[in-house]
A and B are shown apart, each in its own frame.
Chain A
Amino acid sequence: MTRHSPAMPAVHAPKPKRRNLLADLVRSREATLFVVLIALVAATAAVKPEFLNLQNLRDVLLNVSIIGLLTAGMTVVMLMRHIDLSVASVVGVSAYSVGSLFVMFPHMPIAVAMLAGITIGLAIGAVNGTLITFGRVPSLVATLSTLYIVRGADYAWVHGGQINATSLPDAFSRIATGSLLGLPNLVLIAVVVLFAMGVYLKQYRGGREHYAIGSNPEAARLAGIRVERRVMIGFLLSGAIAGLAGVLWLARFGTVEASTAKGIELQVVAAAVVGSVAITGGVGTILGATLGALVLGVINIALVVLRVSPFWQQAIQGALIVAAITLDTLLARSVARRMMRKRDHG
């Protein structure tokens, strides 16, 4: 009887349509960012055609690679309604440590340098994760504390010292200067890591669990997800990426000191938020976060090319961040409302 009920097809009919809409929505959030990015580049190039030269492109990519990596790590953490403010301090201490390792062992292989940076990041990530999962300290408080403690320890250790590009082996500097198929090595490293992170978050069970925890922590727990373990992994990932970013920072800039990368944590959070990673958890992709970092990076360079006074640059960036957050939320809400109406009346 129920099998041949005429109501059945009526219930089923709108389903594929709804799925299309959902797919459109997912696509549209990244697509919107992509359109913004293209529009930015086009508008700048229209005013200053010389904007589109290889040197500028290289600069944008090199600058964005490091911030983009950090934003990806931040995304994993933000998906679970957490935040990691300690990343800038980790970048600083990793860059200086690896630099001093090079001073001590000038012939250290590059792989060892990277491993050293990642290990430092993992260690601080483990501290953050333990404080948050075992100590039940809110992540904002825990990582704000480790931001201070790691940076303070950095200052106490470095004491006004500095690592210069001259003490770095050429092979290491080539991470930033050398290129493969026209793309700087540093950018390639970032792309590989970002791609791996994207696949992990999208395709793997563990990756999906980050979303589940952020959407509804209680439901995730009841569904049998080991929330503590997943949160721990998130902070380990964020720490490891920050450690790697420190090594890349050293290769890119050559000169590092105790205050290296100070304050970039808020830039990273801003890039994630512009890339429509929700600060309230459960929503966001690596692609979106990377596009967010790219948009902010392109704006930075475009303002320089357009000869906008450097004093205006930060104000314009700030205004754009506020606008991006507002528009993104309004857009997401109007789509959600439309879907609700469709469900109610469809």
Chain B
Amino acid sequence: MAKPDSALALTKRRHLSWETMLVVVLVLGLILGRVLSPVFLSSANLSNMLADFTEIALIALPMTLIIVAAEIDLSVASVLGASSALMGVLWHMGLPMPLVIAIVLVAGTLAGLFNGLVIVRFNLPSLAVTIGTLALFRGLAYVLLGDQAVADFPASYTAFGMDTVAAFLPMPFVLVIIGAVVFTVLLQATPFGRSLYAIGANPVAAQFSGIDVARTKLKLFMLSGAMSALAGVVYTLRFTSARGDNGEGFELSVIAAVLFGGVSIFGGRGSMIGVLLSLLIIGVLRNALTLSDVSSETLTIVTGGLLLSSVLIPNLVARWRVMREKRLMTQTLI
């Protein structure tokens, strides 16, 4: 009885320490930004910074749940693109905007359902299936809109992408805040969320302990599809442009953000708070470096470096500890 408790306490402590480290990095990032550029902490810049990672953040929320359950969804950016294209087509058909958005969200959910059904029904690895649907959904985006762009969305809706509340909070970011609260509660405080950790740690044990693993995975992929479609709607309105190639390559940025947040790629470990901190850090660093004229392509080095160090440093520290303990043991034995 005592053993699992202490094990739980141990993992909890490890998570807390990772999150504490992320907070430290975030504060350092903010200081760096302030040093590099005097406009960094201006409300206009903060507003820009927050708006810029809306889509990545919206998709990272369900991706966290999926990776905790030891699955992955590479098709998210393609669902974003297909949603954007569908939005353009439906608007040109003359449908009213609320209906367009509703249809797009339903279509995204169906795309996720398709992923989930193939993965669950045939018991296939999600990495392989979603590489396929990555190509498929992006292809559908081009089928829908070709290389055209639809840009004549009503101003009352595109204003959504630029308006701010409380002086500096961009409207799209309010969506992120709502999503973050909902998903944090979902993952950390509901039976559904807890079952994801069980599935990620050991799917067979989870099945035997009464969790409907197939149904849970199906829900996860539908959630991912829906949120990717929402990200597609926000992206389209923010840039006033529905295009088939919108968001191309976002999937790897999303996964990098989730993993940097301390979620294990093998599932079963990680927290939503960590991912949210990781998103903020990546946003702050990118913005700070952009302000000091570092090219956006060079920023990918920073993303890669962060991702790598997030796994490498704890591993090396653990290795060093084991080595030291071994040395101490042999010393005391002698």
Contact = CB atoms under 8 A, between A and B. Distances in A.
A binds B: yes
Interface of A: 83, 131, 135-138, 140-142, 144-149, 151-153, 155-156, 258, 263, 266, 269-270, 273, 279-280, 309-319, 321-322, 324-326, 329-330
Given A314-B139, A321-B136, A155 B300 contact: yes
Interface in B139-181: 139-140, 142-143, 146-147
Contact of A148 (B122, B265, B295, B300): B300
7 contacts: A135-B315, A270-B131, A270-B132, A273-B131, A279-B125, A314-B135, A318-B133
B117 to A, nearest CB: 11
Contacts of B301: 148-149, 152-153, 156
Contacts of B307: 141, 144-145, 148
B146 A311 contact: yes
A315 B143 contact: yes
Contact of A311 (B134, B142, B299, B303): B142
B305 A322 contact: no
Nearest to A280: B125
Contacts of A146: 304, 308
Closest 10 A-B residue pairs measured CB to CB?
A315-B139, A318-B136, A148-B304, A318-B135, A314-B139, A152-B301, A155-B297, A145-B308, A322-B132, A321-B132
Given A317-B139, A322-B132, A152 B308 contact: no
A270 B249 CA distance: 16
Nearest to A325: B128
B286 interface: no
Nearest to B249: A263
Contacts of B299: 152
A310 to B, nearest CB: 8
B312 to A, nearest CB: 5
Given A136-B315, A140-B265, A141-B307, A318 B252 contact: no
Interface residues on B, range: 35 or more
A326 B139 contact: no
B311 A141 contact: yes
Given A318-B134, A318-B136, A148 B298 contact: no
Contacts of A258: 297
B197 interface: no
Given A152-B297, A273-B128, A137 B308 contact: yes
Given A279-B127, A279-B128, A321-B131, A156 B297 contact: yes
B314 to A, nearest CB: 10
Contacts of B127: 83, 279
Contacts of A273: 128, 131-132
Contacts of A156: 295, 297-298, 301
Contacts of B132: 270, 273, 318, 321-322, 324-325
A258 B125 CA distance: 33
Contacts of A329: 122-124
B18 to A, nearest CB: 15
Q: Which of A136, A140, A145, A258 has the most CB of B within 10 A?
A: A145
Given A141-B311, A142-B311, 16 more contacts: A137-B312, A138-B265, A144-B256, A145-B256, A145-B308, A148-B304, A149-B300, A152-B303, A273-B128, A279-B127, A279-B128, A309-B143, A312-B139, A312-B143, A315-B142, A325-B124
B211 to A, nearest CB: 22
A148 B256 contact: yes
B137 interface: yes
A142 B315 CA distance: 13
